[in-house]
Structure 1
């Protein structure tokens, strides 16, 4: 990873941590005044649908839109993922642990291991 990529990763990490804190702080907010509070109060099914919608928008942007559009749609997806994690009580440390467990493991092997567990 280049020095520039490391700097970008650090910046993204900091921004995601701040966004996660903002999502947490809005959990008990007024749904009339906060979109985040409204989403959280709508529950996991609605949050899951929003994640699916945003994921589709990212995929379409990757297929046919500008890099700026891809970045904007990805930002929307990351926000909705954080809301979805919050509504299900999944801490970012749990996601980090899952990623850490996969470090150095082939994607093909990891997928095969998941299929044998099912």
Structure 2
């Protein structure tokens, strides 16, 4: 991976989506999407995720890269519309990084059974 390309791009994209949410929907895809509400944003994320899965299953790396970018964009749009900040998600990932995936999943199952 190139050193100048890192996770900070997600923070910048989140801020750009957040800034554009009140823009003219005729001039901004982000504004148009967000004005349609959380159900539409979630639907678009799902559509892009399915397209990503198809590209993975058909082993088409270039299309998978493109669809992955679409998935990330729509994930960030979901965060914006639900007032979740990237820092919230980074903190959760940081917390999970300290324990194994099996332990983390087991702890979630314990919480949901209470």
TM-score (norm 1): 0.87
Say whether 1:28 aligns with 2:15: no
In structure 2, the partner of 1:89 is 83
CA RMSD of superposed structures (Å) = 1.5
Say whether 1:78 aligns with 2:80: no
Equivalent residue pairs, number:
112
In structure 2, the partner of 1:115 is 109
Q: 1:108 and 1:6 mapped to 2: Cα distance? A: 31
1:36-72 deviation line (CA, Å, top 9, x unaligned):
0011111111111111111111111111042111110
Gaps of 5+ in 2: none
**Larger helix percent:** 1
Q: 1:94 and 1:17 mapped to 2: Cα distance? A: 12
In structure 1, the partner of 2:55 is 61
TM-score (norm 2): 0.90
